[in-house]
Chain A
């Protein structure tokens, strides 16, 4: 049984169909990439899975149990954590306190949560920023706090919505390493990223979404060689990039 299975999920906003009968799954030990042009419905799909939006139709099975209709807090408790594409840092709380809010989900109290949060800060390279207020962080740091907070809830599945957008190459490399570290700790990952150079080498499988529909899915090499994907999304520019096989 896959960890997460989305079956025929449809999300309508009035007349607009943002997700049109999308099905996908994520196994417990996988990193799955979700790509697609702007407005394809990637963030909407994340919101439906995490309970922020209620899907119009379809099922979201977490370990075989349908979670559609459950609140975001219940779904988080069950083991799905997400980050927000447009970061939602608690501006008046320090980095440590931001992460402690996540850690408190499974900690017995604040002292336990502080220990857990410190460990996550260490892991995410934020330890030296622990006493900085959320409002005083750069966008790259906020994205990292977003990830650290989600990680602190000890999820089974981590959903990352463009955590690498706007990062410089060095920061991006650190973020990639961080995703690999989380994965190595047994967390399954579903990530949205526009940067093909990031998503292709790191993903076990890639799902392509266009106009709310799943165009195709497959191994990164297959997907990036697919003519339709190249036409619909990647553009001619990317052909050159995949000429050399991605190092994994």
Chain B
């Protein structure tokens, strides 16, 4: 978006008593102190994000590193969901479709024609965008909650389609062939560390996108559409077009994470990359964290993913079988958030910092 620097009234106004320059420095220094402390927090966060995995690696703590990768993966997925559901207010319970499309596209391109997954990511994102437009165009005509319901239906249809699609492995899915460890192959066998940094980079990309969206025309229009679609239209907002932008961005980012998942787990099937439970979990992470705010998805992933992985491991060790337990935990959390703090964890942390 172009930035047009127009002279504002204040620049052409003579400095009167209201603009006493001596009144400015305290304000400025306070602002400087705030931005300095913000910078410090940012630096520490960056150090932890980049350095902590090295420590875990040195200590051979593989499982915590796996959890960190999952946190980054879900932070990416939740942020992608947040752009569509949080900012634009279009609640999707079918984002697993884009995840699956990304995972399957890059995997098939690698197994069939030997294309590097790095190029496969781009193709997968492109295909996911096309799929999202095909879903969005008819479904956005349905107002309110009907959109959410329609995305559930579409998700179920796509999963069933893949289960019955023999050419892409059907219900048993695809095992990715083990390739030599190399960046171009997107496979690393001796350490999880490269996967972590790739997941972190993807999360950073998703956050960067949300940051740019928030500050651009898209962000204003998305929020207007969420707030009142009819009022938005009467102010000249082409709401169908902007909803399609939102779902396309969401789909592209989700598909990107799908490829990472495929290359990391090395096996994909409709039950792991296309289930409704994945769509729900993505939505839960974002809602728990706080929708429509840039930090919500990260907070949600930080809390929910260790919890989810923890219960999974615990259940596996104690004989397993109770997969529904983690869903019960999510359910309870959602009820708590909905009852006590609809703004999510972001709103709670704001309250602790005394910003209301």
Residues of A within 8 A of B (CB): 50, 52, 71-73, 76-77, 81-82, 84, 88-93, 97, 100-102, 104-105, 108-113, 115, 118-119, 122, 134, 149-150, 152-153
B37 at the interface (CB under 8 A from A): no
Residues on A with beta carbons closer than 8 Å to the beta carbon of B9: 119, 122
What separation, in Å, do the CA atoms of A192 and B223 have in the docked complex? 29
Please count the residue pairs between chain A and chain B whose beta carbons lie under 8 angstroms apart in the complex: 95
Q: For B241, give the chain A residue with the smallest CB separation.
A: A73
What residue in chain A is nearest B223 (Cβ atoms)?
A93
Least CB distance, A95 to chain B, in whole angstroms: 13
Q: List 7 A-B contacts (CB under 8 A).
A: A73-B238, A89-B231, A90-B224, A93-B223, A97-B223, A105-B235, A110-B217
A134 to chain B, nearest CB (A): 8
Are B236 and A108 touching (Cβ within 8 A)? Answer: no
Given A92-B292, A104-B221, A110-B216, also A153-B235 (CB < 8 A)? yes
Report B221 CB to chain A, min CB distance, Å. 7
In whole angstroms, how far apart are the Cα atoms of A119 and B10 in the complex? 11
9 additional A-B pairs beyond A71-B233, A84-B234, A92-B292, beta carbons within 8 Å, are A73-B237, A84-B231, A90-B228, A101-B221, A101-B224, A102-B236, A110-B216, A110-B217, A115-B8
With A110-B215, A115-B8, A118-B8 as known contacts, state yes or no: A105 contacts B227, CB within 8 Å.
Answer: no
Q: How far is the CB of B141 from chain A (nearest CB, A)?
A: 13
Complex contact A104–B220 (CB within 8 A): yes
CA distance A72 to B8 in the complex (A): 31
Does B317 reach chain A (CB closer than 8 Å)?
no
If the complex has contacts A52-B230, A92-B292, are A109 and B236 also in contact, measured as CB distance less than 8 A?
A: no
Chain A residue with Cβ nearest B8: A115
- Across chains A and B, which 7 residue pairs bring their CB atoms closest together, nearest first? A90-B227, A88-B231, A105-B236, A76-B236, A109-B1, A72-B233, A112-B4
- Which residues of the other chain, A, contact B6 by a CB distance below 8 angstroms? 112, 115
From B228, which residue of chain A is reached at the shortest CB distance? A88
Contact between A100 and B231, CB atoms less than 8 A apart: no
A93 near B234 with CB under 8 A, answer no
CB contacts (< 8 Å) of A84 on chain B: these are 231, 234
List residues of chain A with CB within 8 A of the CB of B221.
Answer: 101, 104
Asked if residues A82 and B227 are in contact (CB atoms below 8 Å), the reply is no
**A72–B2 CB distance below 8 A:** no
Given the known inter-chain contacts A71-B233, A72-B234, please indicate yes or no for A111 contacting B8, CB distance below 8 A.
no
* B residues near A50, Cβ cutoff 8 Å: 234
Question: Which residues does chain B contribute within 8 Å of A52, judged by CB atoms?
Answer: 230, 233-234
Question: Is A109 in contact with B233, judged by CB distance below 8 angstroms?
Answer: no
Cα separation A152 to B1 with both chains bound (whole Å): 20
In whole angstroms, how far apart are the Cα atoms of A172 and B1 in the complex?
Answer: 39
**A73 in contact with B220 (CB, 8 Å):** no
Report if B239 contacts A (CB, 8 A): yes
Taking CB atoms, residues of chain A closer than 8 Å to B223 are 90, 92-93, 97
Q: Separation in Å of the B245 CB from the closest CB of chain A?
A: 14
B22 partner residues in chain A, CB cutoff 8 A? none
Docked pose: A118 CA to B190 CA in angstroms: 58
Q: A109-B1, A110-B215, A115-B8 given as contacts; is B234 within 8 A of A76 (CB)? A: yes
Q: Mark B1-22, 1 if CB is under 8 A from A, else 0.
A: 1111110110000000000000
The docked-state distance in angstroms from the alpha carbon of A108 to that of B217 is 9
Complex contacts, A71 vs chain B, CB 8 Å: 233, 238
Decide if B220 touches A109 in the complex (CB within 8 Å).
no
Closest to B5 in A: A111
Enumerate chain A residues within 8 angstroms of B236, measured Cβ to Cβ: 73, 76-77, 102, 105, 153
Interface positions, chain B 160-201, Cβ under 8 Å from A, are: none
Min C-beta distance of A83 to chain B, whole Å: 9
Please tell me which one of the listed residues A93, A110, A119 contacts residue B224 in the complex, with CB atoms under 8 A apart: A93
> In angstroms, how far is the closest chain B Cβ from the Cβ of A122?
8
Residues of B within 8 A of A152 (CB): 235
List B contacts of A111 (CB < 8 A).
3-5
Question: How far is B236's CA from A113's CA once the two chains are assembled, in angstroms?
Answer: 14
The yes or no answer to B123 lying at the interface (CB within 8 A) is no
Query: In the complex the two chains form, what is the Cα distance from A150 to B231 in whole Å?
Result: 10
Distance in angstroms from B293 CB to nearest chain A CB is 11
Interface residue? B232 (CB, 8 A): yes
Q: Shortest beta-carbon distance, B274 to chain A, in Å?
A: 33
CA distance A52 to B227 in the complex (A): 17
CA distance A112 to B3 in the complex (A): 7
The residues of A that contact B292 with a CB separation of less than 8 Å are 92
Known: A109-B3, A115-B6, A115-B8. A101 touches B216 (CB 8 A): no
User: Which residues from B are CB-within-8-Å of A100?
Assistant: 220
Chain B positions within 8 Å of A119 at CB level:
9
Query: Is A93 in contact with B2, judged by CB distance below 8 angstroms?
Result: no
Contacts of A134 in B (CB 8 A): 227
Partner pick for A110 among B5, B220, B226, B239, CB 8 A cutoff: B220
Of A73, A88, A109, A150, the contact of B4 (CB 8 Å cutoff): A109
> When the two chains form their complex, are residues B233 and A73 in contact, meaning their CB atoms are under 8 A apart?
yes
Residues in chain B near residue A76, CB distance under 8 A: 233-236
Residue numbers in B under 8 Å from A113 (CB-CB): 217, 220
Q: How far is the CA of A84 from the CA of B228 in the complex (A)?
A: 12
In Å, the complex CA distance between A105 and B226 comes to: 18
Distance in angstroms from B220 CB to nearest chain A CB is 5
Distance from B222 Cβ to chain A, minimum over Cβ atoms (Å): 10
A91: chain B residues within 8 A (beta carbon) = 227
